[in-house]
Amino acid sequence: MKNKDSYGKKTKTRLLWIIVFLVIWETIAQSRTFPEAIFPSLPVIAKALGDSVVSGEILLQTGWSLALILQGLLVGLAAAVLLSSLAVRSRIFDGLVDTLTAIAHPLPGIALLPLIIIWFGTGTLAILVIIVHSVIWPMILNITTGFRAIPPIYKETGLNLGLNQVRIIKDIMIPASLPYVLSGIRIGWARAWRALISAEMIFGAVGLKGGLGWYIFKQRVFMDTPGIFAGLFVIVLIGIVVEDCVFAAFEERTVKKWGMI
């Protein structure tokens, strides 16, 4: 009950600040301090968003972006779990993973675009590579930290029960380090969006009609400022929904319920 009350208060506080922000925005827009062409009012933005929803354009592009991000997150998570497992079991692999992380983690995906274009072209695979690069390193850092925080007796108990290494990772290490894994996925989710939007703005339309990055880029080309804000609104809305309805709900039913945090 306490967790539900805390979650409800958090939601109410978030809604309150969103309303405050929208009121401030509309007040500035109506004051005509800035031209409407660069600072549109909320009804104008809502109309641009509604027109895109009715035409189906923004829905198709949102679906395409989400599908690509989910692919990148799954590939990155699988690779991160594998590399983290090897790192905590072997000093040689630990040195390798630590070196790779130190080299690649600070590198923005955009900085690698010239090489990615040469190696993978400008298609869907190239964007997927950028997403995986953006999400894998923070996941490795969090998952490795979580694995190392597990008391040795947990793994020893698994060995005594006859579990093989795969089952020890799946049934003991991942559940025992779930707060760290969840934190890594959250960071990866945010970084995946940045990588996707940036790549689409450079590559242009990839796939059916491109994703939200391509949608925002098109509105910029046609100087459609309300359309730009409509695209940004969709990204923000998806972020809030996933954070509150997916990550927070999963956290409530697992790590908080189990008393892990």
- Taking 90 as the threshold, does the pLDDT of residue 189 lie above it? yes
Q: Domain 57-253 is in which class?
A: mainly alpha
User: Angle CA(184)–CA(185)–CA(189) in degrees, nearest 5?
Assistant: 120
Q: What's the whole-number average pLDDT of the chain?
A: 86
Environment class of residue 4 by beta-carbon count within 10 Å: exposed (0-12), middle (13-18) or buried (19+)?
exposed
* CA-based max dimension of the chain: 72
- Taking 60 as the threshold, does the pLDDT of residue 2 lie above it? no
Average pLDDT over residues 173-198: 90
pLDDT of residue 127: 87
Distance CA 131, CA 138 (A): 12
Average pLDDT over residues 239-255: 83
Distance CA 135, CA 61 (A): 21
- Among 2-6, 94-98, 209-213, the minimum mean pLDDT is found in 2-6
pLDDT confidence bin for 47, thresholds 50/70/90: very high
pTM of the model: 0.85
pLDDT of residue 125: 86
pLDDT of residue 166: 84
Tell me: the pLDDT tens digits for 4-17?
566 667 778 888 99
pLDDT confidence bin for 1, thresholds 50/70/90: low
pLDDT of residue 161: 83
Is 135:192 a contact under the CB 8 Å cutoff? yes
> What percent of the chain is predicted at pLDDT more than 90?
41
> Which contiguous run of DSSP H or E holds residue 159?
helix 152-160
Distance CA 103, CA 61 (A): 33
Domain ranges of the chain: 57-253
pLDDT of residue 229: 93
Tell me: the pLDDT tens digits for 139-152?
999 999 999 988 88
> What percent of the chain is predicted at pLDDT more than 70?
93
- Taking 90 as the threshold, does the pLDDT of residue 138 lie above it? yes
Query: Residues 6 or more apart from 185 whose CB is under 8 A from it?
Result: 73, 77, 139, 247
